[in-house]
Amino acid sequence: MPKEFSALSERQRNIVRFMERYIERNGYPPTIRDIGEATDIPSTSVVNYNLNKLVDAGYVERSDRVSRGLRLIHSPNKANAAANAKKKRNGLDAFVRVPRIGHIVASAPVQIPEDIGHHISEDDMIELPPAMLKGIDPEETFALQVKGDSMIDAMVRDGDIVILRAQETAQSGDMVAVWLIENGETTLKYYYPEGERIRLQPAHPSMSPIYVNASNCLIKGKVISILRFV
């Protein structure tokens, strides 16, 4: 039996979480240098020390015979998913909690307060069925309430809540929340990189796309689900 996740050190828990995300996204394990950079451990010897502790704890296997010879053999998230699946079979399906950190404008970009999301209270947490997160760790997600109808043809209406995965990259055609740095403005649009500029495309028959310099456009998250209160 692997050691309880909560009994690992904070560094070791961070390493396990990073390895799980990295393998999920890339299909292969990270290097020791990748792990050090992602978990703020400047010394490769310290990374090695903690990896050996994770081997002893039953979370990681190591091989010196192959490149990237790390394997995550126990995942707390997968263990939790299995426990939740068991609860569901027993009629005890759990909900996940996601912070609603403010509003996002689905129209022309509008300036928002600089302190958005800095004061999250219990009332700002929303409960969602786990399926709405599409397997993504709840700690990597947040919610925003939509103002405006520029994404109406994408089934996103004024007052809806969009659930996003926090990330700073996106694929062409993803629906994203973007921060326009120079003007301190935010908007919800489809994302299309076009050379040195970005086309932010609304989903509304009478609205034109917005073009911005790529250096002025910071992605804050990708929409993964939409919640509507009828």
Instruction: Please identify every residue annotated as catalytic.
Output: 150, 189
Binned at pLDDT 50, 70 and 90, residue 118 comes out as very low
Rounded to whole angstroms, how far apart are CA atoms 229 and 159?
8
pTM: 0.56
Rounded to whole angstroms, how far apart are CA atoms 133 and 116?
22
Q: Where are the domains of the chain?
A: 5-77, 96-227
Q: What is the mean pLDDT of residues 39-49?
A: 92
Which CATH fold topology does 5-77 show?
Arc Repressor Mutant, subunit A (1.10.10)
The alpha-helical segments, DSSP class H, found in the chain are 10-26, 32-38, 44-57, 76-89
Is pLDDT at 167 greater than 80 in this prediction? yes
The burial class, CB within 10 Å (0-12 / 13-18 / 19+), for 194 is exposed
Residue-wise pLDDT tens digits, 177-219: 999 988 888 899 999 999 999 999 999 999 999 999 999 999 9
- Homologous superfamily of the 96-227 domain (CATH): Umud Fragment, subunit A (2.10.109.10)
Pairing of strands 175-180, 96-105: unpaired
